[in-house]
């Protein structure tokens, strides 16, 4: 039994390093083909290589095999996902540490506030979905009221309005 416990502990310790070793930054073929064209010495051949590679990239984007996002689009997408329990998403092009530091809180004005039974509320946040309070509250929420939603303990979220904290969850 002790040997089995040690074997499981050893596997748990070694597993992250094994996954890290096999994980590498893999780029799409259409991208690597364009980059490879820079190493062609002959000017005419290099131009032909770039023409062929960019045509392949254009075709891939037209067919939605490749999707290009600029940093503004990525930030907007991250904000729209705030409040959902998602795994680290590698297509944002950042390390897990960078993703964890991104969007620890959002600010804005409440919209579409609806009173629910038992003193709870549902409201909408522009670009960040629909949220609900998890407990009844004596705070009065209304459209246009300034707020801040912060990440809290144990994957929960805290709505701060008028210096009062209210536990909330994202519903859509």
Q: In this predicted model, what pLDDT tens digit does every residue of 124-170 receive, in sequence order? A: 887 778 888 888 777 778 888 888 888 777 778 888 888 888 888 88
List, in order, residues 6 or more apart from 8 with CB less than 8 Å away. Answer: none
- The rounded Cα 100 to chain-centroid distance in angstroms is 9
In this prediction the pTM is: 0.53
Nearest to 109 by CA among 90, 129, 125: 125
Residues in the chain: 172
Average pLDDT taken over every residue of the chain? 75
- Say yes or no to pLDDT of 86 above 70: no
E strands in 93-142? 105-109, 111-116, 120-125, 129-133
CA 78-79-83 angle, 5° bins: 95
Range list of H helices, the chain: 2-22, 29-37, 43-62, 71-81, 96-101
Nearest to 132 by CA among 104, 118, 103, 54: 118
């Amino acid at each position: 039994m002790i040997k089995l416990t040690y074997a499981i502990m050893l596997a748990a310790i070694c597993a992250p390093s094994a996954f890290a070793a096999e994980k590498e930054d893999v780029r799409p073929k259409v991208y690597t083909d364009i980059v490879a064209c820079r190493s062609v010495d002959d000017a005419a051949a290099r131009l032909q290589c770039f023409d062929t590679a960019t045509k392949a990239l254009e075709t891939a984007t037209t067919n939605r095999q490749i999707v290009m996002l600029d940093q503004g689009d990525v930030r907007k997408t991250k904000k729209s996902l705030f409040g959902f329990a998602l795994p680290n998403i590698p297509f944002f092009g950042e390390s897990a540490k960078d993703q964890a530091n991104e969007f620890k809180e959002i600010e804005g004005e409440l919209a579409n506030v609806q009173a629910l039974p038992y003193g709870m509320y549902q409201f909408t946040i522009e670009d960040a979905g629909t949220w609900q309070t998890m407990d009844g509250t004596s705070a009065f929420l209304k459209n246009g009221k300034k707020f801040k939603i912060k990440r809290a303990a144990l994957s929960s979220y805290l709505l701060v309005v008028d210096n009062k904290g209210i536990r909330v969850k994202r519903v859509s």
